[in-house]
Amino acid sequence: MENFTPRVIENREFVGLEEEDIQRLNRDEALKFQRNPNISKTMASLEAELGQNGHWEEHWLTVDASGRRVYAKIYYGDERALAITSDGRIIRELSYPLGNH
């Protein structure tokens, strides 16, 4: 069984990476999303919840005060966004005023 658990990177490790290392990590983590057979259902559920007129982005998001990060897909709706990891967990809700994204 394939492991879809997102890699957690310490802030001190992340800031020391070269651009090509970050791009390699991006590819490795993006593959976890592509290979997870349940991720499309999770993404469709978020789109239904936040509205079909939103869009997806991918970012390294901090998950705690120490700056640890995970690679996440973020669906931006009209006034709120939800971020998921490659294992399908919602890790953060983002709110912003209408028109600011």
Q: What average pLDDT does the structure give for the chain?
A: 92
Residues sharing a CB contact under 8 Å with residue 69, sequence separation 6 or more, in sequence order: 8, 9, 11, 14, 60, 61, 62, 63
pLDDT (mean) for 55-84:
94
| Predicted model pTM | 0.89
Tokens of 17: 């990476």
Choose between 15 and 30: higher pLDDT: 30
